[in-house]
Amino acid sequence: MPVSTNPWIARLRPASSGGLRLICFAHAGGGAATFRGFAQDLPEDIDLCVVRLPGRESRLREPPVRKMGELVGLLGDALEELLDVPYGLFGYCSGALTGFELARYLRDTGLRPPAALFACACPSPALVLRGSGVHELSKPDLADHLAALGIVPDTILNTPGLLDMFEPSVRADYEVYETGEYVEAAVLDLPVSVFGATEDPSTTVPTLLGWREETSQDFSLRLFPGDHGFFDKDRRVLTAAVAAELRSAAARVPGAAR
């Protein structure tokens, strides 16, 4: 696959064979930089692509998307070029909900569905606290909320100019996350793997186990010690599990190369 000029795609590490792909969605306000470590740790046969939403990084001047229905439609069109090989969707924090809704959208529109879905540090779609109103917090309260999660560097939160640039995208992503209505539908026909932490303020074990209700296939939950920071602290264990499960799921896709 040649280097893409698609603004929605940041291709961090091309695979040597191009036979498998992992498409990643960052936390609220995040972009491709969130997954730089994955590029170091994933095996060479997995092509790593990160979704870059409007309003951040190279798309900073574009207005961010604020509604889930609009977002998944745009993603379905933008990412179609990546669906030519078996692939998995990996979402971190609010990005996991986007990955889930996109998997549903791809299935319902007849596009190639993912071989597997990976949800990291996110409550199940039915148990997301949609009334929490984070996207409407004052700037100081929003900064405190992000600091508690530890997903945004202190240099951004404590530097007014940097926070001003970051704020529109993080508010938009939280609005997508908090206002998208959960609609009961047929469960996904693909394995779902969930990763969480024992002391993460954004999730509980029951809200992570809720993902089990969204699939008719295999479900797994791995819990790490600590808080939201396990995504970085335990990254090598996390990426090894994702790689192994993606390879296993892809091998079960009809017509996939073994």
Domain segments of the chain: what residues? Answer: 9-251
> Kind and range of the H or E element at 212?
none
Question: For the purposes of burial, counting CB atoms within 10 Å of the CB of 90, is it exposed (0-12), middle (13-18) or buried (19 or more)?
Answer: buried
Round the CA-based radius of gyration of the chain to a whole number and report it: 17
| pLDDT score, position 256 | 56
Q: CA 145 to CA 139: how far, in whole Å?
A: 10
According to the model, what pLDDT value does residue 18 have? 67
Report angle CA 127, 130, 131 to the nearest 5 degrees: 125
pLDDT at 54: 96
* pLDDT score at 228: 86
For residue 96, what is the enclosing H or E element? helix 94-109
Cα separation of 70 and 126, whole Å? Answer: 20
Give the global pTM.
0.93
Helices 94-109 and 68-78 meet at what angle, rounded to 10?
60
Please give the CATH topology (third level) of the domain spanning 9-251: Rossmann fold (3.40.50)
Q: How far apart are the first and last CA of the chain?
A: 19
Q: How far is CA 142 from CA 23, 69, 94, 132, 201, in A?
A: 28, 24, 15, 12, 15
Q: How is residue 93 written in tokens?
A: 């924090």
Q: Residue 190: what pLDDT? A: 97
Give me the pLDDT at residue 218, please. 97
Q: What is the pLDDT along the chain (258 residues), one digit of tens a residue?
A: 445 689 999 999 877 666 899 999 999 999 999 999 999 999 988 999 999 999 999 999 999 999 999 999 999 999 999 999 999 999 999 999 999 999 999 999 999 999 999 999 999 999 998 778 889 899 889 888 888 877 777 888 888 788 888 899 999 999 999 998 899 999 999 999 999 999 998 899 999 999 999 999 999 999 999 988 899 999 999 999 999 999 999 999 876 544
